Structure 1
Amino acid sequence: MHHDNWQCAKCSHDEFETDQFRATGGNFAKIFDVQNKRFTTVSCTRCSFTEIYRTRSSNLGNVFDFFTS
C-alpha cells in the first residue's frame, strides 16, 4: 500500500502493510483470557521496520482510515 502521508523512519520508503493484534493487560485479563489491549502495526515493505500504535476499538477505524484513505 502507498500513502503520501507516510514514510518509513528507517529507509524513507513509502509503501507499507498494516495489521492488528490484541494483547492481555494484567493478571485479571490473563486469568479470564480476555484480550483487552488492541494494537495496529504499520510495516515498511522494503526493510520491515514496524511501528506499533495502541488503539481503542472506537479509534481503530480512524487509524486504518488515516493509512488507507
Structure 2
Amino acid sequence: MSESGCVKCGSRDAGEKEVAMTGTGLSKMFDLQHNQFVVVYCRNCGYSEFYNKQASAGSNILDLFFGG
C-alpha cells in the first residue's frame, strides 16, 4: 500500500461502499440500476472516488485510492 494516504488530506483512514445507479434513456425511465460501482472515501475529509465494480473486481480498490 502506498504511504501517501488520501490525495486531498493524507489520511490513511478510508472506507468503501457499493452503490448502483441508473443510466440514461429507458433504464432511467424505468429506474433500472444496472451500473454498479465501488465508492472509496476518506473518512477524514470525505474525498471520494468511484470505481466500476466489474472492472475493479480483480484489483485492490484501496490500493488504487491510495495511488498504489
| Letter in structure 2 aligned against 1:32 | F
Q: Percent identity?
A: 25
The answer to which structure has the higher helix fraction is: 1
Superposed CA RMSD: 2.2
- The equivalent residue for 1:36 is 34
Task: Look up the SS of the partner of 2:57 in the other structure.
Answer: helix
Aligned match for 2:58, one of 38, 56, 62: 62
State which drifts further: 4-13 or 33-42. Answer: 4-13
After superposition, residues 22-33 of structure 1 pair within 5 angstroms as: 22-33=20-31
Q: Which residue does 1:48 correspond to in 2?
A: 46
Count of matched residue positions in the alignment of Structure 1 and Structure 2: 61
Q: Which runs of 5+ in 1 are unaligned?
A: none
Query: What TM-score do the two structures reach when normalised by structure 1?
Result: 0.68
Instruction: Specify the alignment match of 2:16 in structure 1.
Output: 18
